[in-house]
Amino acid sequence: MKKGFLIVAHGSRKDHANQQVKNLVKELSNYFQSAMFEPAFMELASPTIEDGIKALAKKDMDHLIAYPYFLFKGMHFSKDIPDIIKNIINKLEKKVDFKMLDPIGQHPKISDLVQEELYDEVIDQLKLNKVAPGKIEDKSMELIEKNLNGHEIPSEQKPIIKRVIHTTGDFDFLTSMIFHGEAVSAGLKAIKEKKIVYTDVTMVQAGINKKLGHDVRCVLNEPEVKELANNEGITKASAGMKSLSHKLDGNIVAIGNAPTALIELVNMIKNNGLKPALIVGIPVGFVNAKESKSYLTTIKDIPYITNRGQKGGSAVAAAIVNALIKEAFN
């Protein structure tokens, strides 16, 4: 099923306002590396909704996703735009279903955008806090808790998400992290049993807490791994996963840097029947990072923790494992 994405705005008599919507569509196309995005305006500007749908139909669209670039669920959202879209797709040569997403004003991060707009005006009014050295982490966690904004987070996931936010200072992880249904329980069991933690790079290895005796290994710089990478024309991180093979069975794999390592790991699970106890798959980057995480979520019987998008990194992968260690031995 080939999806087409229509970003629908009201339209303005001012060209610069309409251009902002068109620029947004270009940014979305670049981010998702897809030509299946088109802008459309309900009135006063072009391309019209009909123009946008026809442009997507020429690209062999099977299913239309309409994203209303509006703040609220008013009449335009509930009736006007759906009626226009239905009339247009009914005239197309092939059958096309469509779905309307919620308008941008419904998104939980709308408050973050307002905070960003107000930041420079408010920041000079804030005062430094005096906190005892031993209480800094506790105070940080208290502030993070206050900023969860009413999000309903499963209790077993909350310590992990809060640890990642604490490590990165980034509340995007509040809504972007993805947990397999058995991820936390499987991770805690493996941690309690002192299973080996294999990492894709030495930065993840260095960041994981070893005070309780956990064995954390990285084979990235082993001679045989370098040789395998050269012989097969693959990255060292990918070769590292490949060289470990069934040594990964029953153990934890923490990937924070290399999408190629995560892709190789998923391939081995699918093709060779590998069974790690838990995968922490959170590579960072612009080339195949978000795609590799999506690929990881196609696995049903191996627990994993990952996130959506290109954010991630060694510090995040280490923070997730450290949160599990803390919870297991708290």
Residues designated catalytic: 166
Structure tokens belonging to residue 312: 């991630």
3-state secondary structure at position 151: coil
Q: Please provide the DSSP assignment of 222-289 as one string.
A: -HHHHHHHHHHT--HHHHHHHHHGGGGTTSEEEESS-HHHHHHHHHHHHHH----SEEEE---SSSSH
Spacing of C-alpha 56 from chain mean position: 26
CA 220, CA 201: separation in Å to the nearest integer? 6
Q: Which residues, 6+ apart, have CB-to-CB distance to 101 below 8 Å?
A: 65, 66, 67, 68
